[in-house]
Amino acid sequence: MPIAKISPSLLSGDFGILAAECKRMVSHGADWLHMVISCLTKHLNAFLDCHMMVSEPEKWVDDFKKAGASMYCFHIEATKDASALIDKIHEAGMKAGVAVKPKTPISAVMDLGHKMDMCLVMTVEPGFGGQRFIAECMPKVKELRARFPNLDIEVDGGVSLENIDAAAEAGANVIVAGTSIFKAEDITGTIEAFRAKVNVEQDKLSKESIAV
């Protein structure tokens, strides 16, 4: 089963000192950095998880590859040919993620499960930080995990220590969190708490799969 990956969202960082904020998160144990921009590769060595909240995401693949993106995650709602876009992303040497908004049924991405590297289940409406976690999106995660046990499944939006159990139990293993990490008194402890919750649940899911 996939291991936990904790990806602080730079949307909650200080954009005036963004390079320093990235280094700070990595120093506290972050696995990935969840970014809207990817202009910081000369300042740090980290996996850059780029969430493309744009129309016509096909246009930006080459630019983000040149900028150093590791993961190019586009919205299923923004493209007419997701399969072809995944091919283009892979040909550019990046991993391909597919995001679904809260009101989009998970059936929209099921045919891509063996092709995409990650599925991002949005747990808020995309665009700005500080929104309430939408627990009603968790059945999407559960359905994905049951169908694709080895897929990286990311949740993004309002994730905190108060609701990480719901996300982890559903099967999410990539946790994007902005406010709850950047504003934490103990950033390292918060990241490790997220990781521990996810790994416990992934271990349970792995054992259940073996038993079946």
- Low-confidence residues in the chain, pLDDT < 50: 38
Asked if 6 and 195 touch (Cβ cutoff 8 Å), the reply is: yes
Q: pLDDT at position 41, please?
A: 65
- The predicted model scores a pTM of 0.85
Dump pLDDT digits (tens) for 139-151. 999 999 999 999 9
pLDDT at 64: 87
Tokens of 98: 């597919």
Distance CA 89, CA 28 (A): 30
What pLDDT was estimated at residue 123? 96
pLDDT for 38 = 45
Beta bridge partners of 99: 75, 120
DSSP-derived secondary structure letter, 176:
E
Would you identify the CATH topology of the domain 5-211?
TIM Barrel (3.20.20)
